[in-house]
Structure 1
């Protein structure tokens, strides 16, 4: 499937945990959409809406949801989390349990509830050998939700969502999962994980554009969320513009106040069609082979691996540190040599995908060798 990607041959793209490249089919879909618009305006608008509906179906497939009625399209992960955080009814004294090392989107949104008397309790992963047990230990009678990333953006630690979900469901605690660093990289099983909310932007492992994100809300919870945004699109009879009485849509469209991002929908739908053709089990098998190869290259050089070694604890992120070297300097030097990566968690973060040639991993490490010399 490497022919699906038109990356410059002198570029080592190891940054899918930040922004992934589009496959050729996504580029083609957006080009067709733009050309249709240029030639005939919105004549094919119903066809465009059919593409958006296919996108909802693909997102439902990606997480294992039974129905598209539970799938809303948000602008990004932060907006999706805000819909949840500021939609749920809170009582002063309530608490939310999370992780201290989270990406700011998964910290700021919960801290913003402080003026409602809600406390955010954070687990420090640096002192935890069993993060699921330690997250559960932070919960008490005041805890209404555990809100975590499936995969930590800096270290690449993957949580056991099945374990967390079972405990949350048994104890009437909500589970909110930011799945942005896992969806598109490995299979997600909503039935096993029992998440109440799942959010993820499409521009990383899903290989889509920025500006379009998944918001899954368990059907029994939709009407418990107070709506904070309103417009023509979120009402039940959205096409009846002369109607003066209105109610929010019964399905997850109630969280989409205005016009859809059809340009983004064409790109993301096409990108997900690639993952569907390959199958997420096969995507994950290929990605695991690449991360294992990368870890072997890191170990052979005596570098310090910051990502968990246990394959059950990893996804597509591999973060490492070179002892005695400035990660900031190495990052700048790697980027200058067209090794696209990130500086995260005190080290260098590489994040290949299922299609990344093994030769790209080896070339990136050889370039690093040359920088160190």
Structure 2
């Protein structure tokens, strides 16, 4: 991959070191132009509905290609929280299986949503981690024949720990459970193939490693499963075309499209489409290979600087997101930003999260600055 060329597409790299893709990816020139295109269409036409709907279909197809799915297995939603909520309320309260499992390394919104479901509230099971990691044996133990759905993150937002989706899918399917994957911290820089990995449901947003902006996310549901679900959150875009304007006789759209509601944030969709085109042009496999080497350097150099690594050192068990323990992480983040180094704080860690536009030299400089900051706080 020609890092120099792709760096030139991200203006922020000329003035700052951007290492916060786990929170917000840097904005690329073609993505910025896509946003301007949306605005221009409105300025000159007044109504760009048909063009915007075509762009939505293009974004759907691009995300489907990114994860190895079919377009009709993808719904466009506003956020990952919306996607999880839509699935949660679509599950039958009278289902024979009553148990919901999620992990303590999920992003908190996952627990918030499931614990808000009165019909499942007393039947939730939290799969516990050990030092931020979950051994496969824990899934064997905690997922039971009574488990309806098991929710897991592909990558931990806190420490970059990466889970083995194929093996977890094998375990939960043996127990008769569905597997719902939060891929917000992996889609865009780690290869995903939902069919090969036997994933039943998956969601991801665009503002992090997919290089988009807030307001656009995707929900994948395996086609056969989607046809069995009856969304309680729906809307006119989630209807079969024949009933779109029939107020008395609604009929769900085919596949996962039934989970769509009203008019999406088109400006976010335009950005997402351009960003996905960029990722597919480069290839996620190539991005992962380059970021693995950056992660290797980050861990090694960080430890040489006396920084305390949080999460596994084994590159097979982690993403390129590397977390170092910091007492006052929020203060450290602010101090680094004053030095034009953009990182992301979470609880007691500073997360170093590079993407395709970053270099080893940038990471070295960022860690040098972090070491200096730690001596001041």
Normalised TM-score (structure 2): 0.91
User: Once the 2 structures are TM-superposed, how far is the Cα of residue 91 of structure 1 from its aligned partner?
Assistant: 4.5
Match of residue 359 from structure 2: 357
CA distance in 1, matches of 2:164, 2:7: 31
CA distance in 2, matches of 1:105, 1:74: 16
Cα displacement string for residues 230-256 of structure 1 (whole angstroms, at most 9, x for unaligned residues): 432221126864786431111322111
Distance 1:59 1:118, change over 3 A: farther
Query: Tell me, what secondary structure is at the counterpart of 1:320?
Result: strand
Match of residue 75 from structure 2: 72
Distance 1:242 1:98, change over 3 A: closer
Match of residue 158 from structure 1: 162
Query: Tell me, what secondary structure is at the counterpart of 1:4?
Result: coil
CA distance in 2, matches of 1:144, 1:207: 33
CA distance in 1, matches of 2:28, 2:166: 32
User: Once the 2 structures are TM-superposed, how far is the Cα of residue 171 of structure 1 from its aligned partner?
Assistant: 2.7
Match of residue 31 from structure 2: 26
Distance 1:127 1:48, change over 3 A: closer
- Structure 1 residue runs of 5 or longer lacking an equivalent are none
Cα displacement string for residues 326-350 of structure 1 (whole angstroms, at most 9, x for unaligned residues): 4444333223323222222522111
Match of residue 173 from structure 1: 177
> 1:318 touches 1:350 (CA, 8 Å); kept in 2?
yes
CA distance in 2, matches of 1:328, 1:36: 40
- Structure 2 residue runs of 5 or longer lacking an equivalent are 1-5
Matched, 1:340 2:345: no
CA distance in 2, matches of 1:23, 1:86: 36
CA distance in 2, matches of 1:240, 1:135: 42
Matched, 1:297 2:301: yes
CA distance in 2, matches of 1:103, 1:246: 34
CA distance in 2, matches of 1:124, 1:160: 16
Distance 1:131 1:112, change over 3 A: farther
CA distance in 1, matches of 2:109, 2:80: 8
Aligned length, in residue pairs: 369
Match of 1:131 among 125, 129, 135: 135
Matched, 1:16 2:18: no
User: Once the 2 structures are TM-superposed, how far is the Cα of residue 114 of structure 1 from its aligned partner?
Assistant: 4.1
User: Once the 2 structures are TM-superposed, how far is the Cα of residue 117 of structure 1 from its aligned partner?
Assistant: 5.0
Match of residue 372 from structure 2: 370
User: Once the 2 structures are TM-superposed, how far is the Cα of residue 313 of structure 1 from its aligned partner?
Assistant: 1.0
Query: Tell me, what secondary structure is at the counterpart of 1:199?
Result: strand
> 1:90 touches 1:118 (CA, 8 Å); kept in 2?
no
Query: Tell me, what secondary structure is at the counterpart of 2:211?
Result: coil
> 1:91 touches 1:118 (CA, 8 Å); kept in 2?
no
RMSD: 2.1
Match of residue 264 from structure 1: 268
Query: Tell me, what secondary structure is at the counterpart of 1:155?
Result: coil
CA distance in 2, matches of 1:275, 1:361: 22
Query: Tell me, what secondary structure is at the counterpart of 1:369?
Result: helix
Match of residue 43 from structure 2: 38
Matched, 1:87 2:79: no
CA distance in 2, matches of 1:127, 1:274: 36
CA distance in 1, matches of 2:334, 2:354: 19
Match of residue 3 from structure 2: none
Distance 1:368 1:230, change over 3 A: closer
